[in-house]
Amino acid sequence: MFGRREPRPAQQAPGEALRLENVRRVYGAEGNQVVALDGVSLSLPVGSFTAVMGPSGSGKSTLLQCAAGLDRPSGGRVFVDGAELTGDGEAALTRFRRQRIGFVFQQFNLLPTLNVMQNVVLPLKLAGRRVDKARARAVLERVGLGARLGHLPSELSGGQQQRVAIARALVTEPRVLFADEPTGALDTRSARDVLGLLQESVRMFGQTVVMVTHDPVAAAHANAVLYLADGRIVGHQTAPTAEAVAERMTHLADEVERQRTMAGA
């Protein structure tokens, strides 16, 4: 069960970045429970770029939050880079996350009071790691913001803010980078830039990326797509194209609807 430390190292495949074993997440009190994740198991190799798709309420964000140590599963186990996520309180979870995990959110979540450079080096400072300003600057140049180091988030466009968030996530060299609808608040052009950056980090630096999205165009940037419906993984697709993803999503919605009416009948 979640929360227990296992003495033996997990029997993991070589080069495995993320593994979920029968992860369940149940919300609500006894008698009025909602099952958000219903026994999800998956294994993602190092250097993979996976999109998680599914209709609203399918459990996409819950899956990401459980895998990233932001939420505690009700059951099952989560391994990041071979280390099990054990829930010994908020501080322990924070330390686990900052050693292995990077995040990018739809709403950027940059600290409004810190400038671009301060935002990017913040995770290093909080973790008590050496702050390599030159490296941080290099990462910011990579995302195209080398000239904006002293700006506050409120002085940047949405696309620029999201690129700062990506730089902040990459600077700690996380084992897995989780992105929750990273293009959800962006125009198409900024969205393409952001997806290109994620792709580049996978191709050139072997970064592992897991991205939740509902946009087939965004999902097409990934190497593989996982389909989620009613808290379960219901499909898998490699080398996706936007058309193929959209097609599948259309039928997925029909499928779920059919299952619902059958269950209701």
Partner 1 sequence: MFGLAMRSLRKRASAFTASFLSMFLGSAIIMAFASMLDTASAGGATGPAEETLSTMAIVVGGWGLLLVVFAVTSTLTLSVRQRAAEMALLKSVGATPGQLSRMIVGEAAGLAVAAALLGIVPGMLLGRGLLGLLHDTGQVPGDIGYSFGSAGLSMGVGVTLVSAVAAALISARRATRVRVAESMAAAATDRAKLGRKRIVFAVVFLFLALDEAIVTVTVMDGEGSNAMMTSGQADIFAAIGLALLAPAIVRRVTALLARPLRALGGPSGDLAISTMRNRTGALASAVSPVILFVGIAVGTVYLQATENAAMDAAGLTKSAEDKSIETLNFVVTGMVVLFAAIMLVNTLIAATAHRRREFGQTRLAGATPRQVLGAVAVESVVLTVTGVVCGTVASVFTIVPFGLARRDSATPDGSVWIYVAVVALAAVLTGATACGTTRRTIRVPAVEAALR
Query: What does residue 7 show for φ and ψ, rounded to 5 degrees?
Result: -65, -40
Binding flag, residue 237, partner 1 (CB under 8 A): no
The least distance separating partner 1 from the CB of residue 16, rounded to whole angstroms, comes to: 24
Per CB under 8 A, which region of 11-19, 40-48, 109-117, 202-210 contacts partner 1? Answer: 109-117
Interstrand relation of 101-105 and 176-180 (parallel, antiparallel or unpaired) = parallel
Question: Is the Cβ of residue 72 or residue 192 nearer to partner 1 in the bound state?
Answer: 72
Print the binding letters for residues 118-147 with partner 1: x by CB under 8 A, - otherwise: xx--xx-xxxx-------------------
Question: Is the Cβ of residue 128 or residue 264 nearer to partner 1 in the bound state?
Answer: 128
Binding flag, residue 98, partner 1 (CB under 8 A): yes
Tokens of 78: 């989560």
Residues binding partner 1: what is the number (CB under 8 A)? Answer: 31
Question: Is the Cβ of residue 49 or residue 108 nearer to partner 1 in the bound state?
Answer: 108
CA proximity to 71, closest of 178, 162, 214? 178
Q: What is the DSSP string of 159-226?
A: HHHHHHHHHHHHHT--SEEEEESTTTTS-HHHHHHHHHHHHHHHHHH--EEEEE-S-HHHHTTSSEEE
Q: Using the structure block, give the residue that is written with the tokens 């958000």.
A: 36
Q: What residues numbered 66-95 form the site for partner 1, per CB under 8 A?
A: 70-71, 90-91, 94-95
Q: Do 67 and 51 touch, CB atoms closer than 8 A?
A: no
Per CB under 8 A, which region of 77-85, 111-119, 135-143, 185-193 contacts partner 1? Answer: 111-119
Cα angle: 85, vertex 4, 129; to 5 degrees:
35
Residue 32 CB neighbours (<10 A): 7
Binding flag, residue 154, partner 1 (CB under 8 A): yes
Residue 115's identity, in one-letter code, is N
Q: What residues numbered 165-224 form the site for partner 1, per CB under 8 A?
A: 168, 172
Q: For residue 263, what are the contacts with CB-CB under 8 A and spacing of at least 6? A: none
The least distance separating partner 1 from the CB of residue 127, rounded to whole angstroms, comes to: 6
Residues making contact with partner 1 (CB under 8 A): 65, 70-71, 90-91, 94-95, 97-98, 103, 105, 107, 109-114, 118-119, 122-123, 125-128, 152-154, 168, 172
